[in-house]
Amino acid sequence: NKEGYRPLRIILVGYMGAGKTTVGKALSKELGIPFYDLDWYIESRMRRTVKQIFDERGEDGFRKMEQAMLHEVAEFEHVIISCGGGTPCFFDNMDYMNRQAETVYLKAEPDVLFRHLQMGRSVRPLLLGKTPDEIRSFIREQLEWREPFYARARHTLDVSLMDNYEKIQISVDQLC
Ligand code: S3P
């Protein structure tokens, strides 16, 4: 009996360093449903790192590929997806995600994002070659135009105060 049956899909959006991957993994463990990080999915499908894709095809080429890959993972039946910081801000990706899933904006202050990015080990092509001061102002500028896209997610979770990501315990009630 499939009546009332609905796939459980959660898509996490938010700026680089908001903790999308960390929260996604934690949720996946808690809910027992598979986790996909969109950047990792792109890398394994394309056999290229995100940095190589930026170098070879430019940001435009990356965005097209990102959209195509988003359309693959967001069709899976039960899934938690952490997308890239830019994913919601190109094409009609945010509308598409809202149709497919429970979308959650992980909202954090620029200072918190900066701190997480300093601690992180991931290579972020958009930040390469920038000094810490340049990164600070880049985050502020980008958030200004990106925030309206993020804010269209169905749910918002303020992560500025969650300092220890290891200990994050998010209940589904908070999200749905
Ligand atoms: C990007 C964020 C990255 C990655 C790419 C571009 C962005 O993902 O998709 O480097 O435009 O904000 P994370 O948010 O997972 O770092």
Q: What is the mean pLDDT of the chain?
A: 91
Asked if the structure places residue 170 within a domain, the reply is: no
| CATH code of the domain containing 62 | 3.40.50.300
Give the number of domains in the chain.
Answer: 1
Closest-lying ligand 1 atom to the alpha carbon of residue 122: 16
Task: Determine whether the shortest distance from the Cβ of 84 to ligand 1 is under 6 A.
Answer: yes
Q: Could you give the residue ranges of the DSSP H alpha helices within 13-131?
A: 20-31, 38-46, 50-73, 93-100, 110-119
For residue 174, being part of any structural domain is answered with no
Q: Is 125 in the pocket of ligand 1 (CB under 6 A)?
A: yes
pLDDT tens digits for range 19-38: 999 999 999 999 999 999 99
Say if 1 falls within a structural domain.
Answer: no
ipTM over 0.90: yes
Q: What is the pLDDT of residue 167?
A: 47
- Ligand 1 mean position to 52 CA, how many Å? 13
Q: Which structural domain, as residue segments, surrounds residue 110?
A: 9-160
* CA 67/CA 87 separation, integer angstroms: 7
